[in-house]
Amino acid sequence: MTIAEKTSARRAPIAAGRMGVCKALAVTLLLSAPFGVQAKAVEPETYSPVAPTIDQARANILIARQLQFTHFRDMGISDELSGDVFDAYLSYLDGQRIYLTQSDIQALDKARNRLGPALKTGQLQPGFDIYNLVQKRIIERLEFALDTLDAGIGELDFSSDETILVDRSEAEWAPDTQALDTLWTKRIKNAVLAQRLSGADDDAIAETLRRRYEGQLKRANQARSEDAFQAYMNAFTGMWDPHTSYFSPRTSENFNINMSLSLEGIGAVLQADNEYTKVVRLVPGGPAAKQGQLKPADRIVSVAQEGEKPVNVIGWRLDEVVDLIRGPRNSVVTLEVVPASAADETLTKSISINRDEVKLEEQSASKDIIELDRNGETYSVGVITIPTFYADFRAMQAGDPNYKSTTRDVRKLISELKQSGVDGLVMDLRNNGGGALHEANDLVGLFIDTGPTVQIRNSNNEVQILKDEDASVAYDGPLVVLTNRMSASASEIFAGAIQDYGRGLVVGSQTFGKGTVQAVRPLNHGQLKITQSKFYRVSGGSTQHKGVIPDIEIPSRIDKTRIGEDALDRALPWDQIDAVPHTRYFDFSGIIDELRSRHEDRFATSPEFRLLQQEIDFLKEQRQRKTVSLNLDKRTTRQDQIETTRLTIANARRELRGEEPFESLEELDDWQDQQAADLDSTDDELDFVIREGGDIMADMLELDKRMASILTPQQIAAQADTP
C-alpha cells in the first residue's frame, strides 16, 4: 500500500464525517507516494465538525458592540475590515501556510467580504466553516507525516541540495496537495536532521516525531466549538489592537487566577502563537526568572512532569498548556522550547524548572554600590534594581503600616545609600514589565518636588493627569535610569517622566512601547479584555508604540523586530497631545555630546562591549537566515560553525573573568545546566551595563560639578524655565 493509499484509507471515516457541512469542505486530496508502507491496525479517530452555540452568538454581538463603541480606536465594521478579519483568521489557523492549498483558499475566499456583516449580528457559521476545513486539512497533513515515518526514516534522502524555507508566513500557498506532500517531506527531513545532529539515533527520532504528530492529531480530532469561537473572536478583536482579546470561560478562569497572584507554577506569562505557546515575559522573582534559561519569545514544544515522558503541546489550546505546566510547589516541570534565537523550529532545548510561588519579597527592590576611580578621585555610585512595580494590596487594605511597595522600599534604600555617602544613583529598570500604576506615579515623586507624572486619555478624548502632590524629595542628586526592550508600561512612565523633567539621563535601549490601558469586561459567555485608554508623557508624547528613546544607547541581544509594541500587528500608533506645565530641573544639552563620546570610546575599547556586539551580530545573522539546508554534510558543517561560535564567545567571556575555558560545547551546556539548577548561586560581579551606567554617572560628575546638588531650591528657581 502506498502512502497515498494508506492515507486515503485512514481518511475514509473523516470524509464521511464531512457530509452536510459546506461545499468548501468537500475538497478531495490526491497524494503521491515516493515509497511503500504497511497499514496499521489502529482504528483512527474521526473529526466531528464543530458548530456555534446560541451563547457564543450572543457573546459575539456583545463583543461587536463593545469594540465599535467603547474601544480607544474609533473604528466601525466595514467591508475592508471583513477582508482583514478573513486574512487574520487564516493567519491564526495556518500562519505558516502548511495546511491549505490555493484551491482551498479560492473556495474560502467567497466568505472574505461576508464576515464583517455576519459578525455584527452573531452569524458565526462562516467562521466555523473555515475552522472546520482547516482542522480537516491539519488532520490530513499529520496523517501524511505519520505515514512517512511508518515508511522509515532510512527512506529519506539527505544527499541532495534541497533547502527549506524557515518562515513561510509570507510564502505562496501550495498549488496542490502534491506540493504539500513535498513540503511536509521536507519538514520531516528537517526535524530528523536537527535531532541527528543532536546525537539521537533514528529509532529515537522516529519515536519522538511520532509522539509529536500523534499528539497533534489527537488534539485536532478533539477540537471543540469553543476552540473555533475563541480563535475567530481573537482574529476579530485583533483588528482594533493586539491587546484586545476574547477570553473563553476556561481562559477567563486562568486569567483571574493569574491576576490574583495565587498561581503556583513557573512564573511566566504565556500566549498562543499559531501552533505554539509562546513566552511573553517572565515574572520577576519567579522560578523561571531565577532559573535563568527560559527567555521571552521562546516557544514551548513539549511539557514533561518529573519522571514522566514529555507531552508534545504543539497545537494545544493555551489553557491546556497552562494546566500542564501548573503544579504543586517543589515539583519539577521540564519544558522543551524553541529558543527565541533559534534559526528554525527544529532547534530545541530542554529546561527544567522547580515550581514555586512567586513571592513578593523576591520581587523587591534591592541596592548595591560601585566605586569608580577617575583621575585620582573616587566616585561612589549607588545602584537600585527594581524588578517590578509592586504593592502588597492586602496588607495595605488591612491597615498594616509596614506594608511593602516599590516606593516605600526604594525610599528606604535611598536613605541607606545616602548614609553611605554615594555621589550618584543608577536606577535599573531593565526587564521591568510594569505593574501598579500608582507606584510609578509615587516613585517619580521621590525625585521631584511636585508636579504631573503621566497623562491618561480615554476614547472620549478626556484627559486625566496623575500628579505627585508630595513636596518632599527623597533624592536630589544626579540620576541615571537603565532601560531595555523589556522595560514596559509603568517602567516607561517613570523613565519618560525623569527624562521630561530633565531629572536624569535614560541609558540603555528603546523600551517596549506599551502605552495602553486595558479593562476586562464580563460577557454572557467569557470575558473581553479591551483597550480603553492611552498613556502620554507630561511633554505630550505617548509612550505607546515608540516607548522611551534613551539619551545614550547601549545595544541589546533582544531582537526588536520580534519583541516590542511596534513588532505587533495593528498596534495603536504613537501620537501626541498637549504638554502639561512641568519643571525642567537640568539642561543636559551642554554635556550630552561629550557623555556620548566618552561612552562610545569605552564601547570601542571594552572587551565586554566588543563581545556583546559579537554575540548580537551572531544572533542577528542566525535570525536573518531565510532557508536551511537539508543536505546532511552541509547541515553538519553549518552546525559545527554555530557550535564553534558559541564556544568561542563563552570562552572569551570566561577569559575576561579569569576562568578556565570550556574544552567542548558539551562542557559549556553542562555548566549552564548546573548554574540554572543552583537557584541560590549569585554572581557577585555587577554586570557591565550597570557598571557603564556608573561610568556615565562619573562622567556627569566630572563634567558638571553642579550635578552633585541638582535640586537645591536656588537651582530649581534658576532652571525652572530652562527649555
Q: How far apart are CA 384 and CA 533, in angstroms?
A: 31
Residue 20, pLDDT score: 33
State mean pLDDT over 227-250. Answer: 93
| Cα Rg of the chain (Å, integer) | 28
- Side-chain-side CA neighbours of residue 174 (13 Å): 21
* 385 shares its domain with 508: yes
* 452 shares its domain with 365: yes
Q: Is the pTM of this model over 0.85?
A: no
**Does any domain span residue 610?**
no
Cβ atoms of 433 and 488 closer than 8 Å: yes
| Band of pLDDT at residue 502, cut at 50, 70 and 90 | very high
**Does any domain span residue 337?**
yes
Residue 163, pLDDT score: 96
Looking at 79-93, 236-250, 651-665, which range is the least confident one? 651-665
pLDDT (tens digit, 9 = 90+) per residue, 507-549?
Answer: 999 999 999 999 999 999 999 999 999 999 999 999 999 999 9
User: What's the CATH number where 507 sits?
Assistant: 3.90.226.10
* 221 shares its domain with 276: no
**Does any domain span residue 715?**
no
| Band of pLDDT at residue 258, cut at 50, 70 and 90 | very low
Q: Which long-range contacts (CB under 8 A, 24 or more apart) does 178-184 make?
A: 178/30, 178/31, 178/32, 179/101, 180/98, 180/99, 180/101, 180/141, 180/144, 181/3, 181/31, 181/32, 181/144, 183/98, 184/98, 184/141, 184/144, 184/145, 184/148
Sign for the CA dihedral angle at 553, 558, 559, 560 comes to negative
State mean pLDDT over 73-77. Answer: 94
Q: What angle do CA 378, 380, 383 make, to 5 degrees?
A: 150
Per the model's pLDDT, the better-predicted residue between 603 and 713 turns out to be: 603
Please check the confidence at residue 347 and state whether its pLDDT lies above 80.
Answer: no
pLDDT (tens digit, 9 = 90+) per residue, 557-607?
Answer: 888 888 899 999 999 999 999 999 999 999 999 899 999 999 999 988 988
Residue 684, pLDDT score: 38
689: Cβ–Cβ under 8 A, 6 or more apart, which residues? 430, 482, 508, 554
Q: What angle do CA 427, 433, 434 make, to 5 degrees?
A: 80
State mean pLDDT over 142-148. Answer: 97
Of 275, 279, 278, 233, whose CA–CA distance to 252 is shortest?
233
Per the model's pLDDT, the better-predicted residue between 667 and 175 turns out to be: 175
Q: How far apart are CA 277 and CA 212, in angstroms?
A: 15
Q: Which three cell numbers stand for residue 706?
A: 553642579
**Of 222, 237, 252, which one is at a domain's C-terminal end?**
237
Q: How far apart are CA 452 and CA 466, in angstroms?
A: 6
* 59 shares its domain with 174: yes
Please check the confidence at residue 314 and state whether its pLDDT lies above 90.
Answer: no
Count structural domains, the chain.
3
* 95 shares its domain with 159: yes
Residue 127, domain extent: 3-237
Looking at 233-237, 290-294, 442-446, which range is the least confident one? 290-294
Per the model's pLDDT, the better-predicted residue between 629 and 9 turns out to be: 629
SS3 state of residue 444: helix
Please check the confidence at residue 181 and state whether its pLDDT lies above 90.
Answer: yes
SS3 state of residue 427: strand
Please check the confidence at residue 614 and state whether its pLDDT lies above 90.
Answer: no
**Does any domain span residue 8?**
yes
| Band of pLDDT at residue 261, cut at 50, 70 and 90 | very low
Q: Which three cell numbers stand for residue 584?
A: 525642567
- Percent over 90 (pLDDT), the chain: 56
- Give the mean pLDDT of the chain: 85
Sign for the CA dihedral angle at 291, 293, 295, 298 comes to negative
Please check the confidence at residue 386 and state whether its pLDDT lies above 90.
Answer: yes
* 160 shares its domain with 197: yes
* 233 shares its domain with 277: no
Rounded to a whole number of angstroms, the distance between the first and last alpha carbons of the chain is 81
| Band of pLDDT at residue 364, cut at 50, 70 and 90 | confident
Residue 7, pLDDT score: 52
**Does any domain span residue 216?**
yes
Backbone angles phi, psi at 366, to 5 degrees: -140, 165
Please check the confidence at residue 21 and state whether its pLDDT lies above 60.
Answer: no
Looking at the DSSP bridge assignments, the partners of residue 535 are 456
* 80 shares its domain with 161: yes
Per the model's pLDDT, the better-predicted residue between 589 and 37 turns out to be: 589
Of 403, 381, 339, whose CA–CA distance to 477 is shortest?
381
**Of 354, 374, 400, which one is at a domain's C-terminal end?**
354
Residue 358, pLDDT score: 67
Cβ atoms of 244 and 529 closer than 8 Å: yes
**Does any domain span residue 704?**
no
Residue 17, pLDDT score: 32
**Does any domain span residue 659?**
no
* 277 shares its domain with 420: no
- Whole-number Cα distances in Å, 621 to 223, 559, 638, 697: 39, 11, 13, 34
Q: In Å, how far from its chain's centre is CA 90? A: 22
* 327 shares its domain with 226: no
* 368 shares its domain with 329: no
H or E segment to which residue 406 belongs: helix 406-419
**Of 302, 337, 354, which one is at a domain's C-terminal end?**
354
Sign for the CA dihedral angle at 420, 421, 422, 424 comes to positive
**Does any domain span residue 700?**
no
* 346 shares its domain with 392: no
Q: How far apart are CA 505 and CA 426, in angstroms?
A: 10
Q: How far apart are CA 58 and CA 525, in angstroms?
A: 8
- Side-chain-side CA neighbours of residue 396 (13 Å): 8
Query: How many CB atoms are closer than 10 A to CB 224?
Result: 13
Q: Read off the DSSP letter of residue 101.
A: B
Looking at 31-35, 113-117, 663-667, which range is the least confident one? 31-35
Per the model's pLDDT, the better-predicted residue between 264 and 221 turns out to be: 221
State mean pLDDT over 294-299. Answer: 87
Q: What residues act catalytically? A: 489, 500, 514
Q: How far apart are CA 210 and CA 446, in angstroms?
A: 59
User: What's the CATH number where 290 sits?
Assistant: 2.30.42.10
pLDDT (tens digit, 9 = 90+) per residue, 390-449?
Answer: 888 778 788 888 888 999 999 999 999 999 999 999 999 999 999 889 999 999 999 999
Cβ atoms of 197 and 636 closer than 8 Å: yes
Q: Which three cell numbers stand for residue 12?
A: 475514509
Q: How far apart are CA 394 and CA 392, in angstroms?
A: 6
Q: Which of 219-233, 295-309, 491-505, 615-629 has the highest mean pLDDT?
A: 491-505
Q: In Å, how far from its chain's centre is CA 583? A: 36
Of 559, 544, 404, whose CA–CA distance to 484 is shortest?
559
Q: Which three cell numbers stand for residue 364?
A: 523587591
349: Cβ–Cβ under 8 A, 6 or more apart, which residues? 293, 336, 337, 339
Looking at 209-213, 254-258, 344-348, 663-667, which range is the least confident one? 254-258
